[in-house]
Amino acid sequence: DQQVKQNSPSLSVQEGRISILNCDYTNSMFDYFLWYKKYPAEGPTFLISISSIKDKNEDGRFTVFLNKSAKHLSLHIVPSQPGDSAVYFCAARDDKIIFGKGTRLHILP
Amino acid sequence: NAGVMQNPRHLVRRRGQEARLRCSPMKGHSHVYWYRQLPEEGLKFMVYLQKENIIDESGMPKERFSAEFPKEGPSILRIQQVVRGDSAAYFCASSPWRETEEQYFGPGTRLTVT
């Protein structure tokens, strides 16, 4: 039973445009949501997080939006750059961190 | 300030052998987490340890898998009598305290069972 779902296995976006990665969750007890970025042959690196009491958090080109009523969050990257090509994992925390399956983002030149 | 270290990076074992995966957390971090990533899957939590204590092992298979984090030295994930289904990438993460929302990951150990 997947508590954190990333329904798009991959996404291609033109360089300079906005990338939007989506994530749905089922457990209303999650208190924190996180996005991690992973390059091949490396471990995931923390990107940005949001508390369940907020609906938006911004850090440079990265913004995470949380819609608690819909149990949905999204990561916006604007403008998208070639170095953003990676796998992005959505994750949520109750007493442990639970990861989605990831979305592979391709930034096209 | 070295990050989380894992070794070996690649490990090949034949069925029935033992696999030992090591993880040295970041300096000052006393909380260690192990995750497994199967092909085309996300990271699945296995176990959470503090020094000399297993705090949460709810994600560990009941048999053949064990983990420790001794007072001195790295954390060890041990898999006995490996089977093909154990082939995966195993990631270790560390954090400075329990309630942090951010964990720092190592590069992973890719285990291949032949």
Give A48-103 pLDDT, tens digit per residue: 999 999 999 999 999 999 999 999 999 999 999 999 999 999 999 987 889 999 99
C-alpha span between B89 and B111 (Å, rounded): 6
Cross-chain Cβ contact B107/A34 below 8 Å: no
For residue B59, the chain A residue with the least C-alpha distance is A96
Residue B99 has pLDDT above 70, yes or no: no
Chain A residues touching residue B7 (CB < 8 angstroms): none
Report chain B's mean pLDDT, rounded to a whole number.
92
Q: How confident is the model at residue B108 (pLDDT cuts 50, 70, 90)?
A: very high
- What band does B56 get if pLDDT is binned at 50, 70 and 90? very high
Length of chain B: 114
Between A4 and B40, the more confident residue is: A4
Would you say residue B1 has pLDDT above 60? no
Burial of A93 (0-12, 13-18, 19+ CB in 10 A): buried
Q: How far is CA B27 from the centre of its chain?
A: 17
pLDDT value at B98 more than 80 = no
Instruction: Check residue A84 and report its DSSP letter.
Output: G
**Is pLDDT at B83 greater than 90 in this prediction?**
yes
- The pLDDT score that the predictor gives to residue B96 is 86
Q: What's residue A95's pLDDT?
A: 79
Say if the Cβ atoms of B91 and A43 lie within 8 Å: yes
Residue in A closest to B102 by C-alpha: A46
The per-residue pLDDT for range A14-35, each reduced to its tens digit, is: 999 999 999 999 999 999 999 9
pLDDT beyond 80 at A1: no
Interchain contact, A99 vs B102, CB within 8 Å = no
| Secondary structure tally for chain B: helices H, strands E | 0, 11
Between β-strands B43-50 and A45-51, what pairing exists: parallel, antiparallel or unpaired? unpaired
Kindly list the residues from chain A whose CB atom is less than 8 angstroms away from the CB atom of residue B35: 99
Residues 6+ apart with CB under 8 A from A106: A10, A11, A12, A13, A85
> Is the pLDDT assigned to residue B2 strictly greater than 80?
no
